[in-house]
Amino acid sequence: MKIADNFFIYLWNNPRENNCNSYLIDGKVPLLVDPGLEQRVNNLFERMLEDGFDPARIQVVIGTHCHPDHFTGSRKFVDTAAKVTISREEEKFMIEEGSRWYETHGQKTPDFPVDFYLGEGDLKLGKHEFEVILAPGHSPGSVCLYWERYKTLICGDVLFRESVGRVDLPGGNGGQLKQSIERLSKLKIDLVLPGHGPAIQGSANVQANFEMIKRNYFRMI
């Protein structure tokens, strides 16, 4: 769904479609955040084409974390001009402990090279500037993208509307997740774009969601 001239949101609303929310930001360096499951990427491409965007134009594919429902779709970009990136910490997890988890769920561990690593700090792609925030807890090398110009946070599975990412999966850590959420809650945010579920709009709603999470979930994780 096209939200603005350079911004497209593809929410996961149908099990026959993709398996996570995907975000496309157009510009001089078009980028896709979280391509989803490999077997569902063609559906995502179809939706992009319906919006007038050619997926062959994508130059950067960002994985917020390596879980299959977010990252295996990156294989579709291996033989293209697009560069695939995750954090160094997440690649290490994917190769080691995460590899066994992939196997137990009947999935093939991604075996393609990461073109470059996401690290804490500024990321400039064309005219778009983001802050990369390492946010472990749901997965050891999870990252969030803070788009300060629009006060927008793309947060993967760190948090959702009235919920948080699971910490009972391999690599999960409740203490780290709380620290990550505390840090994110201090940002000026008008729009939260999670890895699943609806967006959270409006600074008051965003802060109310952080407070609800701290009040109801922090004692359980």
Q: ∠ CA(129), CA(49), CA(160), 5° rounding?
A: 50
Alpha-carbon 152 to chain mean position: 13
**Whole-number mean pLDDT of the chain?**
93
Please state which of the four CATH numbers 1.10.760.10, 3.40.50.12780, 3.60.15.10, 3.30.2130.10 is assigned to the domain occupying 2-216.
3.60.15.10
| 17: confidence class by pLDDT, cuts 50, 70, 90 | low
* The pLDDT of residue 194 is above 70: yes
Q: Angle 113-82-114 (CA atoms, 0-180°, nearest 5)?
A: 20
The tokens describing 167, both together, are 């910490």
Q: What percent of the chain has pLDDT over 70?
A: 97
Q: Is the model's pLDDT at 92 over the cut of 90?
A: yes
Parallel, antiparallel, or unpaired for β 83-87 and 60-62?
Answer: parallel
What residues does each domain of the chain span?
2-216
Per-residue pLDDT tens digits for 160-172: 999 999 999 889 9
> How far apart (Å, rounded) are the C-alpha atoms in residues 9 and 177?
25
What pLDDT is recorded for position 100?
A: 78
Residue 154 corresponds to which amino acid?
I
pLDDT tens per residue, range 95-153: 988 887 778 767 778 888 899 999 999 999 999 999 999 999 999 999 999 999 999 99
Confidence (pTM): 0.95
Gap between the Cα atoms of 195 and 35, Å rounded: 11
